[in-house]
Every structure is written in structure tokens, then in C-alpha cells.
Amino acid sequence: LIQIVTNNKDVQDIQNFAAEKLFVVLENHQAHETTIMVGSYVLGEFGFLIAEEVGRSGEDQFNVLMQHFSNASPKTQYQMLTAIMKISNLYPECRELVTPIFERLRASGDLETQQRANEYAMLPSLGEEMMEDILREMPSFNSDRKSALEERLNKV
């Protein structure tokens, strides 16, 4: 799903649709772990497409993700940290929400969480331009390799 959404940059409707639908699903406190992970990726990359809609601001996206953080697996939390860092880069008003989270997680017992928190906490000190370069939208996946879902969709 992520590969299909990411690789269709010329069809912004797909990215907008995915961001909107995943946002709605993530509003449910009982969202499935995989949905939280995929939703984190999609909102981190394409949430800006829905941010102008009422109730979909950067802060709203931050809040909808963070409601799942404490119950998510470490692997999902890693993706969520990347997403909230990208959100804070796009929406400066979210930085004050994100900074305390990274500060708290710098002492995490999970080494990967600790590493990410330390790296993300120091990113703003590199300057706006460097931070934007580092947090830029992910490139498309290699077009030579199709996902299993894409293969099935092409057969239909």
C-alpha cells in the first residue's frame, strides 16, 4: 500500500485519499497496529495534503498519532517518531508539542528509540535548510520491483 501511494506522485488524489482515510481510521482509539504504522508513514509524507481541511491540521495529525503511541510496538513507535518529526518540520506550531516527547525519550531504555529521539532532538540545531533536506518527502520506490498488491491490482 505504501509503495502504491508513494509511487503515484503524479496522481495526488491517491495520496490525498490515503491520508484522509487513514486519518479517519486513526481517530479510532482501537486502530490496528499495522494501520497505525501505515498511517504514520502516510501522514508523515502526505498529511500536508489534508492539513487545510477542518480538523486535519498538523496539530490534529500529531494528536491522532500520539493517542496510539504508548500502546504501539517499538517498531511502530519508530515510524511514529519519524512522522511527528516531519509534521513538526512542516508546521512550526507543532514543534513545542514534539520537543518534550523527544527530550523524554532521549533516556528511553529502548536503544533504537533513544537513538531516534537524540537525532531528532538535535535536528533543529542544524538549521532550517538542513532539517528540510533531511526530512524531505521520501523518493519513489524502485519501479522495477512491484509490490504483491500492485501485481494483483494489475491483473484485475
pLDDT reading at 139 higher than 60: no
Backbone phi and psi for residue 70, each to the nearest 5 degrees, phi listed first: -65, -25
Whether residue 107 is contained in a domain is answered as: yes
Whether residue 144 is contained in a domain is answered as: no
No. of helices (H) and no. of strands (E), the chain = 9, 0
Whether residue 104 is contained in a domain is answered as: yes
pLDDT tens digit sequence for 14-63:
788 888 999 999 999 999 999 999 999 999 998 999 999 999 999 999 99
Q: Which domain holds residue 103?
A: 2-137
Whether residue 82 is contained in a domain is answered as: yes
Whether residue 41 is contained in a domain is answered as: yes
Alpha carbon distance 95, 56 (integer Å): 17
User: How many domains is the chain partitioned into structurally?
Assistant: 1
Alpha carbon distance 109, 147 (integer Å): 35
What single letter denotes the amino acid at residue 72?
A
Whether residue 143 is contained in a domain is answered as: no
Whether residue 15 is contained in a domain is answered as: yes
- The pTM score is 0.81
Whether residue 155 is contained in a domain is answered as: no
